Each structure stands twice: as C-alpha cells, then as structure tokens.
Chain A
Amino acid sequence: MAFIKNYFLRHAQNCIGSLGNMTRQPFGSAMTIAVIGIALAMPSGLNVLVRNGQAVAGGWEGIRDFSVYLKPGSALDNASELQDRVLQLEVVESARVISAEQALADLQSDAGFSEVLAALDDNPLPHAVVIRPRPDATPEALQEFHDDLVGMAAVDLVKLDTAWLERLNALLELTRRGVWIAAILLVGAVIVIIGNTIRLDIQNRRAQIEVSKLLGASDGFVRRPFLYTGFWYGALGAVFALLLLSVSLWLLSGPAGRLVELYGGGFQPIGVDQTTAAMMIGGGLLAGLGGAWMAVARHLSVIQPTV
C-alpha cells in the first residue's frame, strides 16, 4: 500500500519538479513554448478558416438556378408562356421573367456598363426566365429538365451556373487537405523541437544521470523527469496556441461580422470549438511525449557511468 502511495507521490514530485526545472531557465523555456504554440496555432487557425468557408459555401449549395435566355427577337409573351409551362413541372419551385428592358435597366445602374450601353442603338439583351428547381430534385431529373429546355424552339441558351460553386468546393477541399498536411508537418516540427530541447536538457544534466545510474537508478527513474518535461512543453505549447488562436479570431471578428451582415446574416461564424481545442491539446501532448521519448531513447542509454 505504502509502495503504491510512494509510486504516485514520486510521479507527482517528478511532474512538479520538471515544471520547476523549466522555470529555472524562464527565457529559454518561454521561447520553446512560444515556438510550439505558433506551430500548433497555424494549422488550427487554417482549419477554422476553412470550416467557415465550407459553412458559407454550404449556404449556397441550394442555389442552382437555371437562366434561360430566349432567342433574340422573341416576344415577351414567349417568356411568359415558358414561365407558365415550367411552373407546371414537378421539378420547378419558381420561375421569374426578366424582360430585356428590365435587364438593361439593371445593367445601366451598374456604373461601369452605363457608358457602353449608351453607345448602343438597340437593346442587345434577350428576354430571360430564371427558374429555380426544387432543392430535393435529383441530378438526373435536373439534367432531363435542362435537356428539355434546350430543345424548346424559343430558347437560345440555358445556363446552369453551379460550376463556380463546384470549383469553390473543390478549392476548399484542396485547402482542407493542405491544412491536414500542414498540421502533420507542423506537429512533426513540434516533435523535433521538443526532442532537441530535451536532448540539450539531457546533456546539461549528464552528471546527475551518471551519478543516479551509479547509485542504481533504473532506466525508468532516469527517464521520468525528461518525459514530464516533454509533457509540460506540449501542454503549455497547446495552451499558448489556443490563446493565440482566440486572439486572432477576436481580431477577425469585426470584419467577419460585417461580411456576415452582407450575406444577410445567414450563417453563423465557427470559432474554436471543443473538438478543435481537444485536438490541439491532444496534439501538443502527443508531440511533447513523443519528442521527449525520442530524445530519451536516443541519448539516455548512451550515458553510462564511468569511474
């Protein structure tokens, strides 16, 4: 019983003792923690940004309007007729006629175009119908509907403009992958940083390690304080990273709020949620212990007492 109590007591002593050792070189320790924090904050920050981007893009997912342009010279009645016809179809939710005059007026209100349009004698724009399909329409049904529209006599051109959305999604997916790769590389960098710091620590405490081994210290006894040091570097680095990320997001919250307003407040910005925080702390601890373990396995066994 006493043995078990002593065992935990020794672990607690090592745990606190390692933290105490770090405060003996406050500047060096703070630098190491800062580097670890920055390395962990970067992929986490990017991850938050990408997730916000995906949330925004997701809000646009339902918008798959068809723009149907009638042949030049078609009457406005043709447009109304088309509107009436498609509204009876099952896949269609709504349809709206945009007359050539209305389209011209819209364009003229756009500063850059008004001069160009003024130089033209006639209105070059056709009448158009904007059709919004039902959100639950299958891609096959939409494709069929699209083909029907193209086949109509009065129709000149049908545009289903989701390509840009697909490109955006592909880009976001690419970025998301990139963030993962960056995260893995940066956690690798944290492992190397901590490993190197522990290696220097081992070298500085060579005498202590030698004497301990002479007095019968087991490998575990000698290893323990260094593993706890790695643990602290990882944990404190992760906490610092969370702090950096929170401050960064706070700095971005003003412009982000305006952006949300511009989109009609339809989406809620994503901050540092529990999963991200847990992953950062977990990543920090894993890297801390991993780096310490590597340094210990590599450098501790080399130190053997000499008399």
Chain B
Amino acid sequence: MIKFDNVTKRYDRGREALSNVSLEIDTGELVFLTGRSGAGKSTLLKLIGLLERPTRGQVLIDGLNIGRLPARRIPRHRRQIGMVFQDHKLLEDRSVFENIALPMIIAGYSQRDIRARVRAALEHVGLLNREKNTPSQLSTGEQQRIGIARAVVARPKLLIADEPTGNLDPELSLDIMNLFQRFNQVGVTMLIATHDLGLLKQLGGRCIVLEDGKIESHENSSI
C-alpha cells in the first residue's frame, strides 16, 4: 500500500532529513516507526500526508506517485488518510462531537450519517458521554482518544500517527496503542511513529528504525 523508493528529503537549510529511504508497507499492516528525535520519523509521515514533498525519489500510495500530485488534488488525498498528532490538534472552541464530525463535514456526508458515525467512533474510544464537552474539559489521554476518533471517523484506509503517546504516561500510552491495535484488526493500515522503545517491546510487531534519515533496521519481533 505504501512504497518509498529511494526517497530523499532535503529542507531549505540543506540538511537531509531523509536519505535514500526505501520501504514497503502492505495493506492491513501495523508498522511502528522509531528512532531518536530528528531521525526523520516526522518527515516520513509528512511525505505521506503531503505536508511535504520529496526532494528525490518516489512515494507511492496504492501505486500512485503522490509526490507529483498537483496541489488541487491534495485535499482528496488527505481525506483518504487519518492523521493523529502528538498535540492532537483539536479545536478548542468546538465540542467533542463537532471536532470528530469535522472530517465527515469536509467530506460532505449527510447529517444522519455524521451523527451515527461520530457516536460510533466515540463509543469505540470509550467517550460517548463526553460529546458535549469541549476538549479543554478533558484529560490529555481523553483528548488523544478524541484525536483518534476524529482520525478514524471517515473510515480511512490508512492511518498515520506522529508520537501519539508523546504526552502520556506509560499506562495511558499502552491504552492508546491498544486502541490502535483494535482499529488495525478491523483492517486499517497503520504507521505509528514513536520513540518509546519500552512501549514497543511490550507491543511487538513490525518496527522500522530510522537514524540520521536512513533506515537503520527492520525488526519483526512478534510476540
């Protein structure tokens, strides 16, 4: 589903964030991306979400070279991907319900579909009773679960998450990761960046290690 073919990303200041990265992720896989800060994890995810474009090489999603996608096609591409961020990027002046509904409103779903699916997503993350609250009335862990509900509500085929547990304690982190695993089990392809090696040891699964913009190793430590 995702294929990086000798991808290099150089930012304006001249530093190479990614150097000749090649990798492949199949449909339905759950893959962790790890490495120190600055190793290129975020850059790799940004290339998938088209927040950045590759300097060299090809990023293919379902065989489509998205590096060449014209700007006007970017919105449609992003609608097919769920994104979860470390700071969850929820809108503070909107209710939990409205936050989760936003991707569906953008995609043009009907009111009835939106209500049904937002409730279902809230149920999945265990926060059904919080739909009228604003994000600031929730704990950090709950906010991140809302962020995940928003990422999956429009049923993307691919979900990418950048340090989704970066601000959470170990117990809550495991909680969040288990939530991802459950969504993966229903068929969503997932690429999750985290520097929390202890957490990865607990979870197992395929793991890509980045260092200085290069792939250091592919590990497959299934439990």
Contacts and interface: CB of A to CB of B under 8 A. Distances in A.
Closest 6 CB pairs of A and B: A216-B79, A216-B78, A218-B75, A217-B106, A215-B103, A216-B75
Contact of A215 (B72, B78, B93, B108): B78
Contacts of A217: 75, 106
Contacts of B13: none
Interface string A264-307: 00000000000000000000000000000000000000000111
Contacts, number: 65
A63 B51 CA distance: 78
A128 to B, nearest CB: 83
B76 A215 contact: no
Interface in A144-163: none
A6 interface: yes
A215 B162 contact: no
Interface in A212-227: 212-219, 221
A6 B80 CA distance: 20
Nearest to B162: A307
| Interface SS of chain A | helix
Interface centre among B76, B91, B92, by most chain A C-beta atoms within 10 angstroms, is: B91
B183 interface: no
Contacts of A213: 75, 78
Contacts of B85: 307
A216 B108 contact: no
Contacts of B91: 207-208, 211
A217 B102 CA distance: 9
Given A211-B102, A307-B46, A216 B110 contact: no
A6 B106 CA distance: 11
Interface in B66-94: 72, 75-81, 83, 85, 89-93
Interface string A1-24: 011011101100000000000000
